[in-house]
Amino acid sequence: MPPLDPMQLPPSTWVFLIATVVKMLIVFTVYMVGVAYTTLAERKISAWIQDRHGPNRVGPWGLFQVLADGVKNIMKEETMPGEINKPIFILAPALAFVPALLAWAVIPFGAPLPTPWGKIDLVVADLPIGFLFTLAITSLGVYGIVLAGWASNNKYALLGGLRASAQMVSYEIAMGMSTVCVLLIAGNVSLNTIIVQQATMGWNVLVLSIAAFLFLVAAFAETNRVPFDLPEAESELIAGYHSEYSAMKFSMFPISEYANMLTASAMFVTLFFGGWDIPFTQWDNSGPATVLKALATVGMFSFKVGFFVFFYIWVRWTLPRFRYDQLMSLGWKFMLPVALAYIVIAAAAILGLDYAGLERGRTFGLAMFGINLVLLVVLFVILDRGRIISPASSRIERERLGRLRARAVQRAHLAPGEIR
């Protein structure tokens, strides 16, 4: 029997503790730098979409604009309205940001890294209930927004906080329901197990496409991004829940929004796009752990997350904002019923394939992909046809709408003195 390689064995307790502290520092630093430069990416991409330059004066290609904005926000004088609830007013920005950061503690960002002291998992805390932890922690972020709106003692801020809480309740359920199918097909709530399952069966975006679509829409709503930015609708509520904030406290809310974007993108990649798995190869999932595998998988995970951050920004500068009734009806009348029906159908399909004797591998994934393709055609081509999903669709019948338009044209051509 060949001797065991110490680089492939679990680390000792002290090495584990030191490695955890190092991973915490690295993840926190990279995360904060990533959030800061996501704000610059937002401004650069929006400028590119609108055919202008964007920030380009501070440093080469405007790369130091983030530092200049940070210094400006720290140096600005803070205003403190007289009728606020001061302790909660100060605490709310931190409550909005911290949950998004904590969720990264359980998200795997690469294959295990072999070291002379043992094999180190590239995740800060490899919890066996990592998926449930992310759902529980990320849902707490809305408390910061609601408390900011209430503590400001401002009617516009309060309306923004109430909108945020109603939006969270409407879409948190659909988000949770959409991930039930992922747990059913993986048979576990560990995020590492979900990644391994996708490496052997196929990415869940192909196997569970409707669940991926529901999760993506709910993630936009949970992060208050366009077209779901009703809590801070500038045209209606000035700035919504952060109307009374200034200086660095005000900056904490945009920072928390971008932090939530990164966290939601990482969760979407982990649950539906294979996490750190490199597509079209089993090299990163088989054989002993190597430094090259760890670096390659970290790079692949970063690329996937970066793509969906770009997608967030692209959607913001492409789509208009929903009306509030459209937002509510989309969540309750479409997403929740579809999520419940999809759970039943997916569970029945998985149970049927298990009874047929198919192992959880490529054949199982191909069978689920075929079933999923049929469901996509039924939902989007046969049932919907642009009537339910399209938020701009009118609830009025087409014939009645035609009569109203004809009457409006007729009135427009009447003389000024005639009765209308």
4-37 tens-digit pLDDT: 556 666 677 888 888 889 999 999 899 989 988 9
Q: Is the pLDDT of residue 420 over 50?
A: no
Q: In the chain, what are the helix, strand and coil shares in percent, each to the nearest 5?
A: 70, 0, 30
Q: Is the pLDDT of residue 390 over 90?
A: no
SS3 of 381, please? helix
Segment 317-324 shows an average pLDDT of 82
- Whether residue 161 is contained in a domain is answered as yes
Q: What is the pTM of this model?
A: 0.86
User: Cα dist. 322→327, 383, 391, 393 in Å?
Assistant: 6, 23, 7, 12
Q: Which of the two residues, 381 and 270, has the higher pLDDT score? A: 270
Q: Is the pLDDT of residue 89 over 90?
A: no
Structure tokens at 252: 């904490």
Residue with tokens 């931190």: 94
Segment 300-324 shows an average pLDDT of 89
- Whether residue 403 is contained in a domain is answered as no
b/e burial code for range 320-343 (CB count within 10 A of at least 16 → b) = ebbeeebbbbbbeebbbebbeebb
pLDDT digits (tens, 9 = 90+) for 36-86: 899 899 989 999 888 888 888 888 888 899 888 888 888 888 877 778 888
| DSSP-derived pairing of the beta strands 113-115 and 118-120 | antiparallel
- Whether residue 238 is contained in a domain is answered as yes
Number of independent structural domains in the chain:
1
pLDDT for res 281? 86
pLDDT for res 300? 94
Cα separation, 109 vs 24, in Å, equals: 13
Peptide bond connecting 99 to the previous residue in cis, omega within 30 degrees of 0: no
pLDDT for res 94? 85
Q: pLDDT class for 360, splitting at 50, 70, 90? A: confident
Q: pLDDT class for 155, splitting at 50, 70, 90? A: confident
- Whether residue 162 is contained in a domain is answered as yes
pLDDT digits (tens, 9 = 90+) for 246-256: 788 888 888 88
| Structural domain containing residue 39 | 6-361
- Whether residue 317 is contained in a domain is answered as yes
pLDDT for res 302? 94
- Whether residue 181 is contained in a domain is answered as yes
Q: Which of 283-287, 375-379, 400-404 is predicted least confidently?
A: 400-404
- Whether residue 399 is contained in a domain is answered as no
- Whether residue 384 is contained in a domain is answered as no
pLDDT for res 305? 94
